[in-house]
A and B are shown apart, each in its own frame.
Chain A
Amino acid sequence: MNSSKTDADTSVDTYMDYLFDVLGLDIREEWRADVKRYFMLSAGMAKVLEAHPLEMTEALAPVFRP
Chain B
Amino acid sequence: MKTGGDVFPRAAEIAQRVRRGEWRAAEVLQDTLHHIQANDGEINAFTRITAARALREAEAVDRKVACGEDPGPLAGVPFAVKNLFDLQGEITLAGSKINRGDAPAAADATAVRRLTAAGAILVGALNMGEYAYDFTGENIHYGASRNPHDLSRMTGGSSGGSGAAVAGGMVPIALGSDTNGSIRVPSSLCGIFGLKPTYGRLSRAGTFPFCPSLDHIGPLARDVTDIALAYDAMQGADAADPVCTDRPSEPVSGQLADDIAGLNIAIAGGYFAQQMTPAAAQALARVAAALNVTDHVDIPGTAQARAAAYLMTNAESSNLHLDRLRHRAADYDPDVRDRMLAGMLLPASWNIQAQRFRHWYRAEVLKIFARYDLLLAPATPMSAPVIGQRYMALDGEQMMVRPHLGLYTQPFSFIGLPVVVVPVISAGAMPIGVQIIAAPWQEAHALKVARQLELQGFTSPIPPI
Contact = CB atoms under 8 A, between A and B. Distances in A.
Given A64-B213, A64-B416, A49 B334 contact: no
7 contacts: A15-B345, A36-B342, A38-B338, A41-B403, A54-B356, A60-B356, A66-B416
Given A64-B199, A66-B198, A35 B341 contact: yes
A39 B307 contact: no
Given A25-B329, A52-B357, A58-B359, A66 B307 contact: no
A48 B361 CA distance: 14
A43 to B, nearest CB: 8
A10 interface: no
Contacts of A66: 198-200, 362, 415-417, 440-441
Interface string B107-119: 0000000000000
Contacts of B391: none
Interface in B237-294: 242-243
A23 B350 contact: no
A42 B310 contact: yes
Given A25-B325, A66-B417, A60 B341 contact: no
A53 to B, nearest CB: 10
A59 B307 contact: no
A59 B355 CA distance: 8
B371 interface: no
B448 interface: no
Nearest to A45: B307
Contacts of A50: 353
Given A31-B341, A38-B339, A64-B358, A24 B350 contact: no
B345 A60 contact: no
A15 B78 CA distance: 51
A26 interface: yes
A65 interface: yes
A1 interface: no
A8 interface: no
Contact of B357 (A28, A49, A65): A49
Contacts of A35: 338, 341-342
The 9 lowest CB-CB distance pairs between A and B, nearest first, are: A38-B342, A66-B416, A45-B307, A66-B440, A39-B342, A34-B338, A48-B307, A61-B358, A49-B307
